[in-house]
Structure 1
Amino acid sequence: YHFDGSQYGVDLSNYTCTCRKWELSGIPCKYAILAIFNQNEYSEDYIDDCHSVRAYKRVYASKIIPIGGENQWIETYFIPLLPPNYGRRSGKPSKARRRYPDKPMMKSKREKRSKAMKLKRQ
């Protein structure tokens, strides 16, 4: 099938496409969807079972037991972890832009350019 100026081979009976996205994800790629619609079939029939609502409900059918509140936690005797100190650094902040090491340095901070001026007599 041609799509966006490219050509890919789609085999609906083996659930494969030459772009290989269908085999990797289990969901038909855009080329496979085009082939399915050209055959007047439903794309839902070609999606892998692990992506169905039935499989989702089967996975989460067992009870999920919530964790108790902070007052039910077991007390440990380890030193409590603290977040790192990311305060302002001491000293004057650098104003110069950081340059790459292989880039040549300029001779001076500013180079003055002078222009020759022409004066007209009136």
Structure 2
Amino acid sequence: MVEKAQLLIPYAIGRHEFHVLDGELNGEVDLLNKTCTCGLFQLIGIPCVHALSRSLKRGVTFYFLCSDYHKFETWMSSYTKTIYPCGNAEEWIVPHDIKTMKVRTPAHKYLVGRPKKKQGRPKKNRLPSNGEKLVVECKCITCGGRGHNRATCKVRV
């Protein structure tokens, strides 16, 4: 985003407000309130391309523009107090509609593209490993019986 922000042209409207020409979606940014008309700045709490373009021109570090939720100090302060266990699940007060809700597995998602071929030699054509003896049962073409072939068949046609 920083690389794209360097190519944009910001125009000052006020001390903390400015208009950025993007070509696709122009933005009006207020650095003091941390807002932009594109809405991305307010939505994720990280400066959008429009806000980054002006902060780079003014020499303001964009870490200052990030929401407090993304800062290390906020994360650490959330774990400074005692965290108590939840207790027994039988004692929880859960609404009836949540208790009766059925969670199903997601529908099968078909993958895009051609299916992959199975790798390796098929099991019926494999070679025996050391100490292993493969038993192949023959089928007679003449009578359809198993355990012998056409050459050793006792049935006369």
Please give the TM-score of this superposition, normalised by the length of structure 1: 0.46
Please give the TM-score of this superposition, normalised by the length of structure 2: 0.37
- Structure with higher Rg: it is 2
